[in-house]
Amino acid sequence: MKPALILGAAVWENGPSPTLERRTLHAAHLYHQGLISHLIPCGGLGQHPPTEAAMMATILTAAGVPPEKITLEDRSHSTLENIRNAIPLLNGTEVLIVTDSYHAPRARLTARRLGLIPTSSSPDFQASMKPRLREIAAYGLYWLRLTILRSPAHP
């Protein structure tokens, strides 16, 4: 079994955003199915406390994931930082990335360029056109940064 990175999403003033909750509950489901060994929620402090990673840990434990199976990466503010900062927390290079399907191609690209062997799993969700269009532009920028410029040091 491999570990799972749960990529961050916003914490709102009144709790987790639907995206953060959806990704986190999907990861808990994968854990309970025996498909992952441990979970690394990723995400730092945004506009509202707590950090994205801490909010995910709360959701995971409420969903029955043992706390010792959760390791927080709570300093990142982008997909690149999520993955880069989680690398020291991994035992090996194989990782399952939990994110939405429209975001998964960019996350896998980033992970591969940082030396990981990624697969991804996404909750069942149909995104609106806005995040899908945003991802097209973001993928192009990440590809340029990670492939041509080879500069993963800057988010």
pLDDT digits (tens, 9 = 90+) for 29-59: 999 999 999 999 999 999 999 999 999 999 9
Whichever domain contains 85, its CATH number is 3.40.50.620
Q: What is the pLDDT of residue 88?
A: 96
Q: Would you say residue 54 lies in a domain?
A: yes
pTM: 0.83
pLDDT at residue 103 above 70?
yes
Query: Does 127 reside within a domain?
Result: yes
Q: Which residues of 121-137 are buried (b: 16+ CB within 10 A; e: fewer)?
A: bbbeeeeeeeeeeebee
Domain carrying residue 120:
2-148
